[in-house]
Structure 1
Amino acid sequence: MYFFLSVAGGLGLLVGGLLVMRAGLRRVFSPALAGLLGRLTMTPWRGLLAGAAGAALMQSSTALTLMTVGLVSAECLSFRQGLGLVLGANIGTCSTVGLLALDPPRQALVPLLAASVLAAVLSRRLRSGALALSGMAAMLTGVQLLSGALAGLSEADTVVRWLAAAGCNPVAGIGGGVLLTFLFQSSSAATGLLMALAGEGTIGLTAAAYGVYGNNIGSCLSSLIVGAAAPLAAKRVAMAHILLNLAGVLVFLPFTALFVQAASLVADDFSARVAAMHTLFNLVSSLAVLPFAGAFASLVALLVPGRNGGA
């Protein structure tokens, strides 16, 4: 019963949070702020840099991607502007692997949600901003509830044993990486565990590479859920995030041996090599798409068709 309540509550917070954040953002974004955000994301390169900086500062590509979906949903950004932020978020999240100690306290989300709701109720001046903040906090709390429910189904040590036994089995390795991301609510935190396991010799570098692939696929869960309830342009942002990571895995998978060798050239110890693989995967995936951002956006629009392009 607890599992089903957690899943239902998590989904409700994710979808409801998106609607609340969209309403707040539409009110809080003055023409001047909207103009500044538009200039920051005017070109794919600018959007990538802004997204990378934002994900690095927030220490969460998931949070930035959810915020981007909210901004596009509120029509503060177009789909193509949001696409640049998503490409940058994948790069910015690489900083988290080296700064895992700065991971924000998870227990702070519920007080933040309660405080922002209270501010929205009591203060007319702060209402719009508090609505946007409470929507974002609700979405992240929903992610945690879903992750906690999944954690009840499969403990981390079980997944670790699965990864250790995976060897060169890509299906088991990628599946283990996806589950780790669900459990830790963060692809970077899951990569941090892979670093520790590789450093201890529990898993090999090939298994760690498959785990990195799975971590990036698992990070798309929130986009998949939120995108299902979002307007057309925001659906396309969510699809772009999913497609970017899936395409990256499909391209990297046949060259995993070369990928592992390249990481070995960059770093000496096993832990650093896993961090290098995480960074290389996200850098190459985003930078490879950037010159073809227009074609990539057209492909996403083809996969998520609709009258209003939101581009």
Structure 2
Amino acid sequence: MQNVPFDFWMFLAGLGVFLFGMRHLEEGIKGLAGKSFQKIIKRFTNKSWKGILTGTFVTAILQSSSMVTLLVLAFLGAGMLSLKNALGVVLGANLGTTFTAWIVATLGFKMNIADFSFPLLALGILSYLFLESRPFLKNLGMFLIGFGLLFLGLDFMKDALDAVADQIDMTVVSKFGLWAFLILGLVVTALIQSSSAMIVIILSALNAGLVDVYQAFAMIIGANIGTTSTLLLGSIAGTADKKRLALANVIFNATTAIIIFIFLKPVVDKVYLIFEMSDPLMELVLLNTLLNLAMIFLFLPFLGVFQQFLKRRFKNAEPSGETLYIKNITTEFPEVALKAIKEELNLVYKYVQDFIQNCFVVSGKNQKSSGWKSLFQTAVNLNEKYDKIKRIEDELTTFYLQLQEQNLTEEESEQLTSNMIVLRSLVYSAKDIKDVAHNIKYVLESEDQIALEILNKLQAFISQKTDEGVQYFQETSTAKVNLERLIEENESFYNDIISYLYLHIKSRSKNDVSISTITNLIKQTVSSMNNLSIAFNANQKSTGALKE
């Protein structure tokens, strides 16, 4: 028999086309239903077992565990998902990746897949090129292109291996034992950064008779360890949460793989007997699925303990900055980023409320501070509180500029604009009070009873307004902001307190606090509450609770 040379370039082209198809498939599905999958992950991950089911389902559809992991990291960083439940999604994502193998084993080796891919490519390319103005059809075209390329690449790889199957001698590898095939699967998967592609290569080799089912399963086990390299490499310069998920993924896959590898032959034989499978390809994909199921059953009972273990790790990699949510995520997922901004603004309001009330010493006791230490300590603390608000403003503004570079929908752009109005208004409100903090201190230290009485009225006013504002920043609140009414209330208070001042102006002595100081204090306080009212209004607009 004449030796046929191995067409290396055909095989490599097949691998490249397959990976390129996976990328297009992922992009197409993201375009068709990306937001739907984000909502599914956000909604159905409040329990670990739900996270597993959700991770499995979404990964099976998206055909990308990396994409799902990025989503999980975004939700984790935004505080919308606990680490324990995120671990459940990662476990499910590992199981979801086996869906590709089932498609390939069921369709890829049972028909002329090149002929099958041509109609998909034709329809997909035409839709993508000529229906650009119709986003749904364009993304559907992207999806069909991905599916077509996936099967075309598989056909190239299968044909390249089939042509030389009887000429390749695997004894060079097999003489080292099954662990050599495990290492081979691990290394190749780490190099090509795709367990799905590696499984297709292994199925092609098994179909061509290059390896038996034991050797193929050993490579599958290696591929399951090798696939962790993608997240591991991405976590090197990542956040603490990203490092924790990467470590968890390595532990999940490596531990299960080692245990199953120790009992590899009995496991393969038992599965063959129980399921009575005559097709080695179908047995291999079943073994791959059972491997990932074993991982779930092995770690699910210990996710709570595992979460505590991970939280003690990589504390040095915690992002710096005053913000709690946006520093942990990227702007790649605008919907999640906007949710994170919303959470930050809720905190900013609490900081502003605390700062304003502390400036007015809202303890109900307008007592003078005793001793130089108390005086200076109070000033330092107030400056620190205000500086923190300003640092958060800087971080949020930088994040806002980065988010603007994303392809936002009109609704997302409006929400982002409203959020920035909220931020600016809150900061302006704090600045209004900071500008008269020295006036407040001066009044507190004076013997001017009228000025002290006015200060008491201002305290009561800002205490009422800031406490009332809490409801407008609660996600479950049904309270509606009437900006015009709030401004009118503030102006009415201003007129009343100015009238009170001028009513008692004749009884004042030259040593009392100056009228200009008191009027400036009143004006800045009302201005601060007006800015808060604007923030309340913009905050409701950003959530859609208030329709323009």
TM-score normalised by the chain length of structure 1: 0.63
Q: CA deviation at 1:302?
A: 4.6
Structure 1 partner of 2:51: 47
Aligned letter for 2:173?
A
Structure 1 contact 50–85 (Cα < 8 Å) conserved:
yes
Structure 1 partner of 2:85: 81
Cα distance per residue 1:208-241 (max 9 Å; x no partner):
1210111111111111112222222232112111
How far apart, CA to CA, are the structure 1 residues paired with 2:308 and 2:314? Answer: 10
Which residues of 2 match residues 14-53 of structure 1 at below 5 A? 37-53=41-57
Cα distance per residue 1:171-230 (max 9 Å; x no partner):
321121123324543212211221222232211222112101111111111111122222
How far apart, CA to CA, are the structure 1 residues paired with 2:180 and 2:196? Answer: 19
Alpha carbons of 1:204 and 1:297: their partners in 2 closer, same or farther (altered >3 Å)? same
Aligned letter for 1:298?
Q
Structure 2 partner of 1:237: 245
1:91 pairs with 2:95 = yes
Structure 2 partner of 1:185: 193
How far apart, CA to CA, are the structure 1 residues paired with 2:94 and 2:78? Answer: 22
Q: CA deviation at 1:49?
A: 0.8
Structure 1 partner of 2:311: 301
Q: Helix, strand or coil: the match of 1:99?
A: helix
Q: CA deviation at 1:35?
A: 8.8
Alpha carbons of 1:54 and 1:184: their partners in 2 closer, same or farther (altered >3 Å)? same
Of the candidates 275, 292, 304, which is equivalent to residue 282 of structure 1?
Answer: 292
Which residues of 2 match residues 21-170 of structure 1 at below 5 A? 37-100=41-104, 165-167=172-174, 169-170=177-178
Q: Helix, strand or coil: the match of 2:263?
A: helix
- Which deviates further from its counterpart, 77-86 or 41-50? 77-86
Structure 1, unaligned runs of 5 or more: 1-28, 113-156
Of the candidates 174, 178, 184, which is equivalent to residue 182 of structure 2?
Answer: 174
Q: CA deviation at 1:306?
A: 6.2
Structure 2 partner of 1:196: 204
Aligned letter for 1:191?
I
Structure 2 partner of 1:270: 280
Q: CA deviation at 1:58?
A: 0.5
Structure 2 partner of 1:125: none
Structure 2 partner of 1:226: 234
1:247 pairs with 2:255 = yes
Aligned letter for 1:77?
L
Structure 1 contact 60–96 (Cα < 8 Å) conserved:
no
How far apart, CA to CA, are the structure 2 residues paired with 1:36 and 1:44? Answer: 14
Identity %: 27
Q: CA deviation at 1:65?
A: 2.0
Alpha carbons of 1:307 and 1:93: their partners in 2 closer, same or farther (altered >3 Å)? closer
Alpha carbons of 1:165 and 1:178: their partners in 2 closer, same or farther (altered >3 Å)? same
Structure 2 contact 181–219 (Cα < 8 Å) conserved:
yes
Aligned letter for 1:71?
F
How far apart, CA to CA, are the structure 1 residues paired with 2:263 and 2:169? Answer: 23
Structure 1 partner of 2:514: none
Number of equivalent positions? 228
Structure 1 contact 263–274 (Cα < 8 Å) conserved:
no
Aligned letter for 1:231?
T
Cα distance per residue 1:80-118 (max 9 Å; x no partner):
22111101101111111122469999xx9xxx9xxxxxx
Alpha carbons of 1:283 and 1:35: their partners in 2 closer, same or farther (altered >3 Å)? closer
Q: CA deviation at 1:274?
A: 1.3
| RMSD of aligned residue pairs (Cα, Å) | 3.5
Alpha carbons of 1:162 and 1:304: their partners in 2 closer, same or farther (altered >3 Å)? farther
How far apart, CA to CA, are the structure 1 residues paired with 2:236 and 2:63? Answer: 25
How far apart, CA to CA, are the structure 2 residues paired with 1:247 and 1:304? Answer: 21
Structure 2 contact 41–54 (Cα < 8 Å) conserved:
no
Q: CA deviation at 1:52?
A: 0.5
Structure 1 contact 97–188 (Cα < 8 Å) conserved:
yes
Q: Helix, strand or coil: the match of 1:63?
A: helix
- Which deviates further from its counterpart, 266-275 or 35-44? 35-44
Structure 1 contact 163–207 (Cα < 8 Å) conserved:
no
Aligned letter for 1:65?
T
Structure 1 contact 163–176 (Cα < 8 Å) conserved:
no
How far apart, CA to CA, are the structure 1 residues paired with 2:211 and 2:40? Answer: 47
Structure of larger gyration radius:
2
Q: CA deviation at 1:38?
A: 4.5
Structure 1 partner of 2:437: none
Q: Determine which structure has the larger helix proportion and give its number.
A: 1
How far apart, CA to CA, are the structure 1 residues paired with 2:312 and 2:271? Answer: 35
How far apart, CA to CA, are the structure 2 residues paired with 1:61 and 1:162? Answer: 34
